Structure formats: C-alpha cells, structure tokens
C-alpha cells in the first residue's frame, strides 16, 4: 500500500461533494486527494513518513475560487498612490496624499493614483483638469476611480500625451468629458480613452513579476487557491511571465486566463492550453461599462441626482452606451465560437445584458455547441427573462455581488432608484432559473474577499447594514458553492478543483469555524487559517 504524504484532520471537512458532504479527515498523496472520510478510515493510509496536521476545531473547505479578478491590474494599481475610499473617508485626506506625492516627485515625473471613490469619500465634489492643475501644475497627474472605468487627468498629462484640446472620442467605446465648447475637461471613460494616459508607467518585466507575485500572495491570504483572469491588461508578452510564475514550486494560486479579443491571433494559443497552474481558457469582451461612469447600458436613464450629475459627471437623460455596435461583434463572436473558445462578456445593465445575449444567441444558433459555458460578467440588472434565456443557451452568470455591500445605498438612492435596485444582482433569480452561479470581487475594484462575497449574497446587507434587494438572498450553502465547485465549473476546472473528492488536486482552505453552522452575518469574520495547493501548505 502506498502511504499518504499528508493527512489533515479537522472538526469539520465540508467537501461540496453531494455523495459525501462532510468528513473528518483527508489524505493526500502526490499532490492529489487520496482518501476522504472518517478519521479511522483515512488514517489507514498513514505511514512512517506521513505528515499529520490536526486542525482542531477548524473547518477544512475546498480551496476557494475567484473566477473574475485582475492580478495584472492589481499589480499596477496597488503600486500607485492610494486615494481609495476604503482608507480616505474625507476629501481632505485625498487631496493631502496627492499633494504629498507631487511634492515628492521629480520634475516631469508621472504621478498615478488609484481608488478615487465618490461613494465612500464624503463630499468628493467634481474632479477634472482644473482641480488637478491646482494640485499638480507641472507634473502629469492621473487619478483613476475605484471602478477603473474612469480616470481624471491634469493639463500636464494632456500635453504629455499630445492630445488636442478638441480630440475626438476614440473608437471602441472610449469617451472624453467636455465643456460646453467641446474642450476636454480632464475626464476619460472606458479603456480606449484611458489608454493614452497609461503608456508612461513602469511595465518592465521585473517590476511586473514582483508585483504580480505579491498579488498572488494577497489572494492566498484571502483563502483563494484558484483565480480566473478575464482579460490581459498588460502586453501579450506577460503571458510568459504568468507561465514562469506558475512553474515556481511555491506558487500560491492557480490561474485560468482569458485573452482580450484582439490578442487571440497573436497569442498563438488554443482553448484550454496550459497546465494545472496556468492555462488559457477563453476570450473576454466588454459590451458596456460601469454604473459609476454612466457607461452601464440601461433601458431607462440614470437618476438626475447630485451624485450622478455633479460628482460622477453623468449628464441628465443618459442611458449609458455599448462599446460596440452589435454588428461589429457578430462576426467576431461567430469566429470565436467556431474556434471553440469560451467567451466571457462584461455586461452590467438590463439593456447591456440583453444585447450581449442577443449576440450569443446569434452565434450559437449558427454553430450550436453543447458544453461551451459562455459567461456574462457582473450582471447588475440582468432581467428574469434574460436569465431564463441564458439558461436555455448554456450561458452562465458571474455576479459582482459586492456592489450591494459597498455601493448599494447609492445605487438605490442616487443612481438607479428603488425599483431597479430591487433587481440588483439577482443571484436568487438566477439559481431559480437553473444556473450554476459564481461570485467575484473584480480586484482591484474591491479587495479579494470571498467570505465577504458570501456574506453579501446571503444577507444582502450593505456597508451601513441596510438590506438591498432582500428577495435575492441565497443560502450559505449556495454561496459556498458559488466560490468553490460552481466557480470551478465556470472555469472548466471542476474535474480538478472545487470540491474535496478522491482524485482531485489537493487544494484546501482552512477557516476557524464551519461557515454552514454560524450566523451568516459573521461569514466575513471567519479567519482564514491557511491554504494548501496540491497538498503543499502555502506560507502565511
């Protein structure tokens, strides 16, 4: 008999395997799960060299999974000046840290800041060239809001990128804020308009490698063992960096990557190509934008509130916009379908998700597939009818559910209104339609906190403890599935990770209490005690 390399004992082992939902011990051999069950049975595989770890009263879970996060963007944004509302509740604090950064900068040095937050920072007011010029008259200064869909720039930055005062909006959904005469006011929305201001950062391979590694460590500390990376925001050559990191013996997470649509030809990859620690699975598209940039595509306009019109700069009557005309994407999605790619599309608004589904339906009708698992990402206001249609089409939703926690009151009272807010992030409706759903934090937008995602999905409580769309609450077990086995299924990884079953990779997350046995309001207070990847404990 071959003995186990490792045995883990715990008061509770929650497996997410319906055939054996709970256990007390797990044995690991050669990086895979060799046995699951009661302590006496599993310990039959104990040999003279077996490491035995008794977790006491802790709970062992399958390694937690975040199917939508951006380690490359985190590597960039977390290296910038922090102006986030998480750490700067008053606008005076934001202005102080920006001035300090300007005073410390060398002449002509670019200054980047991340996390400007109109919801969490009180009295933020209007931002743009005039305000940033007062803070930094000479150094180029760029400030990105927390949602990442809008940035503000000063006059020095405008001069440095050699954009004209009346520069036209770039194709692909990018837009510049303008005054009544058409002059740029220092506001850019969506990636094509942001890009000119992002070309002056340190994107060297050495810097990117170190920052991405630190972000991988951050994921592990949050209890994550597998991530999905939807869209490479760095040069395509960074695929090689991710592959090198995945080959390290101490890599703390597995990464399932998705290319941007314009990278497919140059990448020279095939769907599912790679290893257990890094593989390229699909392609990511962006159909609409963000609620906080006025670019989420809606059937009815945004509210005409002080937050929308004055702070966020969303003109009255705006319903958002698509980044593409549907006709522009029909041929592309058809080609991706014919080549066997899994397709993910960022779609937030009710109209945005509907039109994205129209495109999916057109492609899948022309070339039907049976197990494509195409995804809609974020799904803030997807309708019940479209959730039913998505289920028929084999399209699955991933919910950016912490919009409810962090910004739920503002979405209800100042951006969407009470009626639409009752349909916000309709996770329960999706489950009722037969979907396998996942939850994500979309870091760097929100911190990687899978346990807080669970709490929000179960309680629907915002940061001020108000309940938002309470009818969309789900059970703790459903939420746990959404960050384990169902998230793995969406990544085409359910045969390897997502549950504690014999033969699967030995990826685990230990927490101090059983999440299925506590008050759901305490889910985000669970302490992550450690993670294991392929049976190897990840150093804390």
Domains of the chain: 71-198 (3.10.310.70)
pLDDT reading at 82 higher than 80? yes
Cα–chain center distance at 463: 19
What is the pLDDT, as a whole number, of residue 232? 85
> Beta strands 438-439 and 528-533: pairing type?
unpaired
Tens digits of residue pLDDT in 464-505? 999 999 999 999 999 999 999 999 999 999 999 999 999 999
Tens digits of residue pLDDT in 238-271? 899 999 999 999 999 999 999 999 899 999 999 9
DSSP state of 446: S
CB distance 499 to 484 below 8 Å? yes
What is the pLDDT, as a whole number, of residue 205? 80
Interatomic CA distance for residues 191 and 410, integer angstroms: 24
DSSP string, 146-189: TTSSEEEE-HHHHHHTT--TTPPPPSSS-EEEE-TTS-EEEEEE
Six-digit token pair at 455?
């709490």
What is the pLDDT, as a whole number, of residue 238? 87
Which residues have CB under 8 Å from 75's CB, separation 6+? Answer: 208, 211, 212, 214, 215
CB distance 346 to 284 below 8 Å? yes
**Looking at the whole model, is its pTM more than 0.85?**
yes
pLDDT reading at 399 higher than 80? yes
Tens digits of residue pLDDT in 36-81? 999 999 999 999 999 999 999 999 999 999 999 999 999 989 999 9
What is the pLDDT, as a whole number, of residue 208? 86
pLDDT band at 333 (very low <50, low <70, confident <90, very high): very high
Interatomic CA distance for residues 122 and 116, integer angstroms: 11
What is the pLDDT, as a whole number, of residue 428? 98
Average pLDDT, the chain: 96
CB distance 421 to 462 below 8 Å? no
pLDDT band at 191 (very low <50, low <70, confident <90, very high): confident
What is the pLDDT, as a whole number, of residue 235? 81
Which residues have CB under 8 Å from 119's CB, separation 6+? Answer: 85, 292, 307, 406, 407, 410
What is the pLDDT, as a whole number, of residue 540? 77
Question: Which long-range CB contacts under 8 A does 331-337 form with residues at least 24 apart?
Answer: 332/261, 332/285, 333/285, 333/359, 333/360, 333/362, 333/363, 334/362, 334/363, 334/366, 334/367, 336/261, 336/264, 336/283, 336/363, 337/363, 337/364, 337/366, 337/367, 337/369, 337/372
Tens digits of residue pLDDT in 271-297? 999 999 999 999 999 999 999 999 999
List 176's β-bridge partners, or say none.
188
Task: Indicate if the alpha-carbon torsion angle 249, 250, 255, 257 is positive or negative.
Answer: negative
Tens digits of residue pLDDT in 360-386? 999 999 999 999 999 999 999 999 999
What is the pLDDT, as a whole number, of residue 172? 82
Interatomic CA distance for residues 72 and 212, integer angstroms: 6
Tens digits of residue pLDDT in 89-132? 999 999 999 999 999 999 999 999 999 999 999 989 999 999 99
Tens digits of residue pLDDT in 151-175? 999 999 999 999 999 999 998 889 9
Place of tokens 């399958």: 62
pLDDT reading at 203 higher than 80? no
């Amino acid at each position: 008999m071959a003995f186990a390399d490792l045995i883990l004992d715990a008061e509770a082992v929650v497996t997410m395997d319906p055939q054996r939902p709970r256990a007390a011990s797990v044995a690991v051999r050669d990086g895979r799960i060799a046995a699951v069950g009661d302590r006496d049975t599993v310990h039959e595989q104990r040999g003279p060299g077996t490491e035995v770890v008794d977790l006491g009263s802790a709970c062992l879970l399958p390694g937690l999974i975040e199917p939508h996060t951006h380690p490359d963007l985190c590597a960039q944004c977390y290296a910038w000046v922090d102006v986030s509302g998480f750490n700067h509740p008053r606008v005076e604090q934001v202005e102080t840290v920006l001035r300090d950064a300007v005073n410390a900068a060398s002449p002509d040095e670019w200054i980047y800041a991340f996390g400007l937050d109109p919801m969490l920072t009180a009295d933020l007011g209007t931002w743009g060239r005039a305000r940033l010029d007062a803070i930094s008259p000479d150094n180029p200064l760029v400030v990105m809001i927390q949602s990442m869909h809008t940035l503000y720039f000063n006059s020095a930055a405008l001069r440095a990128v050699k954009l004209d005062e009346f520069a036209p909006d770039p194709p692909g959904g990018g837009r510049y804020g303008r005054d009544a005469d058409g002059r740029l006011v220092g506001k850019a929305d969506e990636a094509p308009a942001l890009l000119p201001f992002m070309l002056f950062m340190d994107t060297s391979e050495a810097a990117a490698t170190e920052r991405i590694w630190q972000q991988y460590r951050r994921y592990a500390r949050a209890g994550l063992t597998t991530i999905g990376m939807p869209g490479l925001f760095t040069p395509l050559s960074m695929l090689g960096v991710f592959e090198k990191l995945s080959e390290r013996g101490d890599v703390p997470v597995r990464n399932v990557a998705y290319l941007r649509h314009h990278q497919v030809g140059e990448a020279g990859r095939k769907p599912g190509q790679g290893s257990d620690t890094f593989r390229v699975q699909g392609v990511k598209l962006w159909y609409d934008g963000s609620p906080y940039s006025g670019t989420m595509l809606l059937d009815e306009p945004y509210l005409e509130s002080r937050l929308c019109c004055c702070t966020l700069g969303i003109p009255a009557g705006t319903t958002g916009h698509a980044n593409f005309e549907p006709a522009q994407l029909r041929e592309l999605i058809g080609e991706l379908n014919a080549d066997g790619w899994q397709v993910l599309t960022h779609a937030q608004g009710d109209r945005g998700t509907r039109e994205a589904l129209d495109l999916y339906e057109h492609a899948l009708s022309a070339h039907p597939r049976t197990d494509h698992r195409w995804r809609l990402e974020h799904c803030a206001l997807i309708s019940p009818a479209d959730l039913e249609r998505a289920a028929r089409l084999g399209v699955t939703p991933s919910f950016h559910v912490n919009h409810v926690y962090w910004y739920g009151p503002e979405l209800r009272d100042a951006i969407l209104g009470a009626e639409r807010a009752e349909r916000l992030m309709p996770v329960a409706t999706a489950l009722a339609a037969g979907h396998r759903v996942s939850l994500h934090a979309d870091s760097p937008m929100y911190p990687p906190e899978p346990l807080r995602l669970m709490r929000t999905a179960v309680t629907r409580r915002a940061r001020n403890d108000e309940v938002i769309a309470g009818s969309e609450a789900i059970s703790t077990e459903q939420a746990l599935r959404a960050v384990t086995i169902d998230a793995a299924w969406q990544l085409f990884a359910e045969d390897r990770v997502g549950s504690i079953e014999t033969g699967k990779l030995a990826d685990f997350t230990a927490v101090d209490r059983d999440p299925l046995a506590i008050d759901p309001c305490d889910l985000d207070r669970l302490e992550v005690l450690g993670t294991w990847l392929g049976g190897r404990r990840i150093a804390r």
